[in-house]
Structure 1
Amino acid sequence: METLSFINRVVSLLFIVCYFYQFLYIPIKIFSYKKQRNENVEKKNYAVLICARNEEKVIGDLIDSIHQQTYPQDKITIFVMADNCDDDTEKIAKNKGAITYRRMNKILVGKGYALDTMLKSIKKEYSDQFDGYFVFDADNILKENYIEEMNKVFVEGNDIVTSYRNSKNYDSNWISAGYGLSFLRESQFLNGARHIVNSSCAVSGTGFLVSKAIIEEQKGWPFHLLTEDIEFSIHHIIQGKKIAYCEKAMLFDEQPTKFSQSIHQRLRWSKGYLQVFGVYGKKLFTNALKGSFSCFDMFMNSMPAFILSTISIIVNVALAINAAIIGDDYMIALKSIAQFLLGMYSTLFVLGLVTTITEWKNIYASHQKKILYLFTFPVFMFTYIPISIAALFLNVSWKPIEHGTYRKEVGELMKNV
């Protein structure tokens, strides 16, 4: 059992070495001076891209929130790709004033293919009319100053800008709260801190802005791995580009509330991370060795936590089983596992606590639920371990998640933040 203790100490030390810098992000974000941006800036022309698959319950709310923006409406054009839809998504979007496209393809399935098809159609029909392209999921809602604030960061010369990802239904249950708290931490204490230290941020599925130059350079959207957002981010970070962050641009995202939905979604994310690491891992690592902190940061976010956690759990369980078989004191192994999990729980709890305190006013939930879901947040994060292990062996495909089971009126949601 001395071997087990040694292995756990080594794993803990490696965790500290790999992720200590992320703990430094916390005081950097909390105590940094907030830059005042110029209010009188050029108003760029934007296309808003929404890929939707059977999203008739929510697409109207997103388009309404875009129409309610403080940004000039004549500089916003909304495009919706009804992707393999068999409901009224396209009809509702068109009635709300969006320009719609329809795509039916059961082989090339996924948001990346839908985006690529839409961008090529826009290029053909509208040429170079737009300075930038916003990408949103159909279940999003935008705060009224979202585009105005993103524009301020964009005109500073940032070709890619990501935003503050909040949640519509944080208060639904421990699952939606787990997602919500992790996205808040990612927004503020990863992307927010990265932006301050002039490192690259990363886009997270939805709520980002890409310049015309980037789209033209890529000739559309050639990112088709299961996590096309991470692929997009890492591809450009390797090229030396920096993704900026706009803290004042807030969007609301609907999170899964069923554990079965969550498992499948996070299986896709985990498999996508493995795919991205397989394609870009070597280049990330070599660039990190050459001094690219952004590549080091993305490398740390892609793999080590998964590898270290998996190794530790497998070794601990294997040694516990072996001890039981040979009649050794397997309780020592079980105690070691418990200590490892307690250490992880405490670390995740502290990260959740800091995020909850600093983002308290932006969390749409009662005081009691904000506190309650602090304690379930580490449990939610723990479930990534078996999900990530399963992703190593399972074939995972993209499947839509039903939205609209939880709805709040746009005005009611906005007045609470």
Structure 2
Amino acid sequence: MTTEGMDPDSDEFKETALFDAIEGLRAVDPLRSASTAVVGWQKAVLIGFCVVVIGCAIWQPTATVTFLIGLCTLFYVWSMSDRLVLFRRGLASGPITISDERARAVPDSELPTYTILVPAYNEPEVVADLIGAMAALEYPDEKLQVLLLLEADDEVTINAAKACGDVDTITIVLVPAADPRTKPKACNYGLHLATGDIVTIYDAEDLPDPLQLRRVVVAFSESDETVACVQAKLAFHNGRQNLLCGWFTADYGLWFGYLLPGLMRSKSPIPLGGTSNHLRRSVLREIGAWDPFNVTEDADLGVRIAETGYRTAVIDSVTLEEANSDPINWIRQRSRWYKGYLQTWLVHVRRPVKLWKAIGPIGFIRFSLLLMGTPVIACLNLVFWLITVMWFLGQPAFIQEVFPWYIYFPALISLIFGNGATIYMNLIAIREDDRPDLLIPALTVPIYWVMMSIASAKGCYQLIRNPSYWEKTFHGLSVKTDVNPDDPATVVEAGNAR
């Protein structure tokens, strides 16, 4: 539905924009919406699979468990091998680099209009940071629109935003309160007010590279029309705060610095980051914008971009975020990500033939390994760790029976190869990024994997019980240990004022 020509302050605009923000994608094509977690034929396949497995387990229990373990081992090896391929590609080529000189060389008159969407909910403690971060951006004010998207009943954040005083470049938009209370719903609403040729999202606590918008403009101008999105790198300003922040920082460094650039060199979909993805507004509207029922709307949008024939580029421009320093808060966030990955995979395999043709067989397999494989492997780790502990404690006979030599040795190789390869990639990444402070987190990362597995199990449970529930991540708990006051890219005056 269109709001063109309507008064943004009118009830008609608000009702139309809200309806479209919630129902727009589902109304056009229900199969592309995550409002229904599992559709009919998917339920039939899942139930049929469970019936077959249970039947075989009753008939031949040892053979069935042995087969499943062998299948899981193959899955592990395939997934890790593919990740190593992506890492090698990313290490060799890296993201697109736009120098400061090239970014500043574009005359202001030739810069496109830009809209920044900043969705925030119950985050009064970080609103001041937003103002400082937006003020630091090197982009002409007359071509920059910043929309702070707040839920109409979020009085604490609204009051905090108003307390900052009048800021010419930031407009507070009150999104009518309605379920689902998700970030993509707010972004869809804000898109009706967007005027920029390029649209991006920042979280309220983000500290983007001041030249990021200009770098994106250059990247778009030097790419062909199939590039619909430019993803900037995400990193953390508090990576040294504690060991959890160190694990999280190393994890992000590997993902955005090497694995996503590796994906960029193929037709495979790129699961976008939650912020700093810069999109052509025309293409964003064309492909249906964000799914308000998907709790990783960024990953879903990345797949939809590839599915419709467009591409995503990754640039070497960093947005600093706040790493979760609290384990419970971290598990809440990561469980939502895992749930959203599974949501996204389930949505896009509803038309498997269409997706296969759009992204090719390798892209389809890689899409499944990343979005379905990542949370599933994290869950399976709990099972295999339990088996390993039981074997070392008592060597029960049934474990020996389900691990014949032709399963045992590949599984042992998978254990050593997989864990070693992951630690190796982390070590190479921190060496290339010149982050010796992350050496201990990189070497102790197996503890981090346990937390990942707990989060994955929680996310899988929530997918069944409450698929579109957006579990809130709390911000404002950090100490900006990585902010360099001599580097303009990391200076945020409001951060010091908080």
Q: TM over 0.5: same fold?
A: yes
**In the alignment, which of 368, 373, 389 is matched to residue 304 of structure 1?**
373
Secondary structure of 1:386 counterpart: helix
Deviation, structure 1 residue 74: 2.7
Determine if the alignment matches structure 1 residue 142 to structure 2 residue 208: yes
Higher mean C-alpha displacement, 102-111 vs 27-36: 27-36
Deviations 1:378-401 (A, max 9, x none): 321332223222333333522332
Q: TM-score, normalised by structure 1?
A: 0.83
Letter in 2 for 1:263: I
Counterpart contact for 1:324–1:330, Cα < 8 Å: no
**In the alignment, which of 370, 393, 398 is matched to residue 470 of structure 2?**
398
**In the alignment, which of 410, 413, 419 is matched to residue 345 of structure 1?**
419
Deviation, structure 1 residue 164: 0.8
Partner residue, 1:387 = 455
**In the alignment, which of 159, 166, 182 is matched to residue 95 of structure 1?**
166
Counterpart contact for 2:119–2:203, Cα < 8 Å: yes
Partner residue, 1:126 = none
Inter-partner Cα distance in structure 2 for 1:378 and 1:327: 25
Partner residue, 2:179 = 107
**In the alignment, which of 75, 87, 93 is matched to residue 26 of structure 1?**
87
Deviations 1:3-47 (A, max 9, x none): 788865654443233342321233323333886766544411101
Determine if the alignment matches structure 1 residue 358 to structure 2 residue 397: no
Determine if the alignment matches structure 1 residue 15 to structure 2 residue 15: no
Inter-partner Cα distance in structure 2 for 1:19 and 1:252: 28
Partner residue, 1:412 = 485
Inter-partner Cα distance in structure 2 for 1:324 and 1:220: 53
Inter-partner Cα distance in structure 2 for 1:34 and 1:118: 29
Instruction: Give the number of the structure with larger relative contact order, counting CA–CA contacts within 8 Å between residues 6 or more apart.
Output: 2
Q: For residues 323 and 106 of structure 1, do their structure 2 counterparts lie closer, same or farther at Cα, with a shift above 3 Å needed?
A: same
Inter-partner Cα distance in structure 1 for 2:128 and 2:451: 33
**In the alignment, which of 150, 155, 160 is matched to residue 86 of structure 1?**
155
Higher mean C-alpha displacement, 158-167 vs 105-114: 105-114
Identity of aligned residues (%): 16
Q: Which runs of 5+ in 1 are unaligned?
A: 124-128
Secondary structure of 2:294 counterpart: coil
Inter-partner Cα distance in structure 1 for 2:279 and 2:261: 18
Q: For residues 117 and 309 of structure 1, do their structure 2 counterparts lie closer, same or farther at Cα, with a shift above 3 Å needed?
A: closer
What's the RMSD between the two structures over aligned residues? Answer: 3.7
Deviations 1:207-266 (A, max 9, x none): 11111212332565344311111111112222222111112x210011111111111112
Secondary structure of 2:125 counterpart: coil
Inter-partner Cα distance in structure 2 for 1:359 and 1:390: 33
Secondary structure of 1:383 counterpart: helix
Counterpart contact for 1:68–1:144, Cα < 8 Å: yes
Q: TM-score, normalised by structure 2?
A: 0.70
**In the alignment, which of 248, 252, 255 is matched to residue 183 of structure 1?**
252
Tell me the number of residue pairs that the alignment of Structure 1 and Structure 2 aligns. 403
**In the alignment, which of 294, 312, 327 is matched to residue 225 of structure 1?**
294
Determine if the alignment matches structure 1 residue 160 to structure 2 residue 229: yes
Larger Rg: 1 or 2?
2
Secondary structure of 1:251 counterpart: strand
Inter-partner Cα distance in structure 2 for 1:331 and 1:413: 60
Deviation, structure 1 residue 268: 1.4
Deviation, structure 1 residue 305: 4.1
Secondary structure of 2:397 counterpart: coil
Secondary structure of 1:204 counterpart: coil
Determine if the alignment matches structure 1 residue 171 to structure 2 residue 232: no
Deviations 1:334-390 (A, max 9, x none): 9x7998655543232112111111112xx5xxx4x4211112323213322232223
